[in-house]
Amino acid sequence: MGELRLMKGNEALAEAIIRAGADGYFGYPITPQSEVIEYLTAEKPQERTGMVVLQAESEVASINMLYGGGATGKKVVTSSSSPGISLMQEGLSYIAGAEIPVLVVNVVRGGPGLGDIQPAQSDYFQSTKGGGHGDYRLIVLAPSSVQEMSDFVPVAFDLAFKYRNPVMILSDGAIGQMMEKVELFDTIPRLTDEEVKERYPWATNGKPKGGERRIITSLDLDPAKMEEHNRHLQEKYRKIEENEVRYEEFQCDDAEYILVAYGSSARIAQKAIQLLREKGVKVGLLRLITLWPFPYKRIEELAAKGVKGFLAVEMSAGQMVEDVQLAVNGKVKVAHFGRLGGIVHSPEEVVEALEQKIIGE
């Protein structure tokens, strides 16, 4: 068994970054995730593993530090919250275009604008549909516990390097700030420079002796070549959709109704299911782990199998619900419930929403 600790979600994430063998963290403070950089600077990871930690002058700089560092084959990561992630969108588009493996963590807060510092899930569109300019996708993982804030870090790095694609961990202010017991995984050693060079021959870390120089760019002025590059990206995204969909089901076997949720909302939905089951309502939960790729097929199967209705529970005005609707494709009822602007809904509100919006009608 790994080391057990009582930690905040943000601290567990920071500790996992060091243990995952990351080479560099570049970030700019913003509530509700500043504990990440505070923890990292206090832990002196340069002494523990040789990892670099740098407070950048802005999120624009941090994402471009990731672009530069990631393009050399090193494991690099940043974290921020909603307004900061908005500032990173140009950089993320370049990173996706140039196919650089990086990890970006968004501990979401209420918006739009400066919004507030309370938990929200209103950055779903931005995270799963691209966010910046051009046709691209991030792989998006949604932790719903402090344990997963730690566990998803090495998974995210593996996916990033496997597909040469930016990966986002989409958390929220509640998961970031809450304290829970966490079992930490053992430290994975950082790769040596030689190992990096051997594993990632595409990376720009000094032209190999007697070999060809490498170029990292997202530019091609020839539209025919740009189209070809886009097709290549799309093929890669189809492969990710085929292989990397992750979700978890609770009590879905006999369910007549299904709540679809992720992150904090999934925890609340679980409690709501308990209350509904006590009332005799057969309800289950589909908890999303990857938001992109999205489990369209599984939802389609559940709809075909006789589920009478789906309720998308998310702390937004209705973003993830659009993907549920796409999957269900009009076969059965789909509705949305969620509080806005940083208000966390209660299990009772979820119960009421299912009764009124799905069962009652």
Residues at the site binding another protein, with contacts judged by CB under 8 A: 23-24, 26, 52, 54, 56-58, 60-62, 64-69, 71-72, 74, 76, 90-91, 94, 98, 193, 204-209, 213-219
Residue where the block lists tokens 């809904």: 345
- Which SS3 state, helix, strand or coil, does residue 110 take? coil
Enumerate residues 6+ apart whose C-beta is below 8 A from 239.
163
By C-beta, is 71 or 354 nearer to another protein? 71
The sign of the torsion formed by the CA atoms of 295, 317, 167, 90 equals positive
Tell me if 337 sits within 8 A of 265, measured CB to CB: no
CA 194 to chain centre: 30
Q: Count the neighbouring beta carbons within 10 Å of the beta carbon of residue 21.
A: 18
- Which SS3 state, helix, strand or coil, does residue 23 take? coil
> Which residue type sits at 314?
E
By C-beta, is 131 or 173 nearer to another protein? 131
Which of these, 44, 57, 122, lies nearest to 83 by C-alpha position? Answer: 122
Residue where the block lists tokens 């790729």: 293
Q: In terms of C-beta density within 10 A (0-12 exposed, 13-18 middle, 19 or more buried), how is residue 256 classed? A: middle
